[in-house]
Structure 1
Amino acid sequence: MNAKRFSGVGTALVTPFTSDYSIDFTALRKLVELQLDGGTDFLVVQGTTGESPTLSSTEKQQVLETVAEVNNKRLPIVYGVGGNNTVDVAEKIKQVDTSLVDGILSVSPYYNKPTQEGIYQHYKYIAEVSDLPIILYNVPGRTSSNVVAETTLRLSEIPTIVAMKEASGSLEQIMEIIRNKPDDFLLLSGDDALTLPILACGGDGVISVVSNALPEKFGKMVHAGLKGDWELARKLHYELLPVTGLFFAEGNPGGVKEALVFRKIMEKYMRLPLVNVSSALSEKIVGEMNALV
């Protein structure tokens, strides 16, 4: 499978809502157009940033169809399908419309805290039923379990598993994966703030929250790093670093939605249990966006 189409910047799209908390499809279309115009390399639909736990299966399909319609095959689309019931995840993957989707992003099982062998067997099971390439997702801060480098490397030998989105925060673990992985297996940053050091270590790109609101500048930073233009990449990294921290200061995607309000893409509404960021943080984000856009 061609993993290279998932290198560079993949934007983990937020889901816009109206004041009655229904999906704002007009805003969603504007968000996709912003990504297309801003130089994003692929689109990620219904990751955690898209508030996927609060969307019904019908709503998720509607979001996917809308993104696919606006995208019109211009960029690859990765669809989030994960969970802690292996058989259920596999069934959902089998139901994905492969005419709309180019890859699957699947988070490691959360809450029930499987062993490394359990994580391996989970992914092996879903890979065997998938006609689409699978991107693994390691985010211990959300799942309460870490996919260690050895497990990732074992999984990289399975043909349908093409990449790992790494959000462990451990550069040592990430370097161990990069040092030993097959050439056709991608290592993608799952932490916006660590994207530049991960690229410098040999990473292949990022699945980003920041690029929702700043696809032009964030994409320029990533592409400079991939080309080895470290002076430009470092300059842009440090320009983006303050707002990156602010986006996550009170949880995701509250911060980046504030920035998208600033860019006149959408309103800031989120579904419970998530709530808007504080007015103090909102003011700081607007201040940084004024300097960046």
Structure 2
Amino acid sequence: MLKAKINKGLRQMLAESKAGPLVSVGVGDAMSARLASEADGIDLMLSSGFAISAEQLGLPDVEMYSRTENVLAVEKMCYVASKPLVADMDTGYGNAINVIKSLHEFERAGVQGVVIEDQISPKRCPVCVETTNSIIPLNEAVGKIRAAVENRSNPETLIIARTDAVDFDEAVKRAKAYYEAGADLVQPISRVFSDKEGIKRFVDAVGCPVSLVIVGWLETLSREDLIWIGPKVVHFALIPVTAMHNAVKSVITELGQAGSAADLPTKRSAHGDIVRDMGMGLISELEQKYLPQESEL
């Protein structure tokens, strides 16, 4: 079948995980999702808003795409992904009632979880700006999490509550409140911390499952560090998009300078490798199975 089949659900994976956090990678397009599905050691994917903005729109992650554009991008990823995908649902695109509709849209797209943040709308990704955005009042944010928890179409859908509070105590307070409201995991932003001890202190203080995005200086943390800190999931959100940006920018620059494709320094995939990885073998099998042979026409 063309649509990928997921063998194990994310909620089950979390329950069974014992040897450290599940490893997630950020994806912004269907090709990245397909490649991540085939990579050993990658447990799940996060549809990174940063990556979607960059790869689909060529714009920074300041909520320039609509909910519909986000859902369509995620739906394409889910179609080819054979591992669970968690969607970056931004602020939920409105109030608590809008959150319900947004959640249902992403569930229909095929996600196994969503991340909902407590920024004002339009949001601004913390790694795109010097000063973080304002956050909505705590009681309003709690209402949005409750709305998602109590109205998800699929009881297996994970609700990850992200707080963009940069003060440590406020981040802990909000994380605890969101977990009490029914969130399955809570997620701080990297700006709260300046060292791994601070992250460990947060995980211990909230006393509930933590989802941790590994960006900026957090990318220097070792696997042993992450196990010691104790999150349930670690999202390497920007690794593919930053690698892609570097490779594409380099090879286009080289091509422009050389005026020829001969002997370009940047390494590229062979055409046949891409065709194979995108599933041409399966297409050929389906053609043999369902299309009439020329002799039968």
User: What is the TM-score of this pair, normalised by structure 2?
Assistant: 0.57
Match of 1:207 in 2: 235
Amino acid at match of 1:78: V
The separation in 1 between residues aligned to 2:51 and 2:168, in whole angstroms, is 20
C-alpha contact (below 8 Å) 2:159/2:185 kept by paired residues: yes
The separation in 2 between residues aligned to 1:70 and 1:12, in whole angstroms, is 15
Question: For residues 39-118 of structure 1, what are the structure 2 equivalents within 5 Å?
Answer: 39=40, 40-51=42-53, 53-71=63-81, 74-83=82-91, 85-87=94-96, 88-98=98-108, 100-110=110-120, 111=133, 113-118=135-140
C-alpha contact (below 8 Å) 1:106/1:136 kept by paired residues: yes
Amino acid at match of 2:177: R
The separation in 1 between residues aligned to 2:235 and 2:35, in whole angstroms, is 16
Identify unmatched segments of 5+ residues in structure 2.
1-10, 54-60, 121-132, 254-264, 269-297
Match of 1:136 in 2: 161
User: What is the TM-score of this pair, normalised by structure 1?
Assistant: 0.57
Match of 2:245 in 1: 258
Amino acid at match of 2:22: G
CA RMSD across the alignment: 4.0
- With over 3 angstroms needed to count, the CA separation of the structure-2 counterparts of 1:102 and 1:139, relative to structure 1, is same
Match of 1:38 in 2: 39
C-alpha contact (below 8 Å) 1:79/1:103 kept by paired residues: yes
Match of 2:180 in 1: 157
Question: What SS class does the counterpart of residue 75 from structure 1 fall into?
Answer: coil
- With over 3 angstroms needed to count, the CA separation of the structure-2 counterparts of 1:98 and 1:113, relative to structure 1, is same
Question: For residues 140-289 of structure 1, what are the structure 2 equivalents within 5 Å?
Answer: 140=165, 148-170=171-193, 171=195, 174-182=199-207, 185-194=209-218, 196=221, 197-212=225-240, 255-261=242-248
1:218-240 C-alpha deviation (Å, 9 max, x unpaired): xxxxxxxxxxxxxxxxxxxxxxx
The separation in 1 between residues aligned to 2:102 and 2:168, in whole angstroms, is 23
- With over 3 angstroms needed to count, the CA separation of the structure-2 counterparts of 1:261 and 1:10, relative to structure 1, is same
> Which segment is superposed worse, 89-98 or 190-199?
190-199
- With over 3 angstroms needed to count, the CA separation of the structure-2 counterparts of 1:56 and 1:150, relative to structure 1, is closer
The separation in 2 between residues aligned to 1:288 and 1:54, in whole angstroms, is 32
| Structure 1 position 160, deviation (Å) | 4.2
Match of 2:23 in 1: 9
Instruction: Pick the structure with greater CA Rg.
Output: 2
The separation in 2 between residues aligned to 1:139 and 1:112, in whole angstroms, is 8
Amino acid at match of 2:172: A
C-alpha contact (below 8 Å) 1:12/1:45 kept by paired residues: yes
- With over 3 angstroms needed to count, the CA separation of the structure-2 counterparts of 1:112 and 1:189, relative to structure 1, is closer
| Structure 1 position 70, deviation (Å) | 1.4
1:2-35 C-alpha deviation (Å, 9 max, x unpaired): 57179422222134xxxxxxxxxxxx32x22331
- With over 3 angstroms needed to count, the CA separation of the structure-2 counterparts of 1:105 and 1:146, relative to structure 1, is farther
The separation in 2 between residues aligned to 1:173 and 1:121, in whole angstroms, is 28
- With over 3 angstroms needed to count, the CA separation of the structure-2 counterparts of 1:93 and 1:206, relative to structure 1, is same
Question: What SS class does the counterpart of residue 106 from structure 2 fall into?
Answer: coil
The separation in 2 between residues aligned to 1:179 and 1:166, in whole angstroms, is 16
C-alpha contact (below 8 Å) 1:148/1:173 kept by paired residues: no
The separation in 2 between residues aligned to 1:174 and 1:152, in whole angstroms, is 13
| Structure 1 position 92, deviation (Å) | 1.1
- With over 3 angstroms needed to count, the CA separation of the structure-2 counterparts of 1:107 and 1:193, relative to structure 1, is same
C-alpha contact (below 8 Å) 1:44/1:78 kept by paired residues: yes
The separation in 2 between residues aligned to 1:3 and 1:151, in whole angstroms, is 26
| Structure 1 position 57, deviation (Å) | 4.1
| Structure 1 position 105, deviation (Å) | 1.2
1:47-86 C-alpha deviation (Å, 9 max, x unpaired): 2332163334443333222212211xx2111112132732
- With over 3 angstroms needed to count, the CA separation of the structure-2 counterparts of 1:162 and 1:258, relative to structure 1, is same
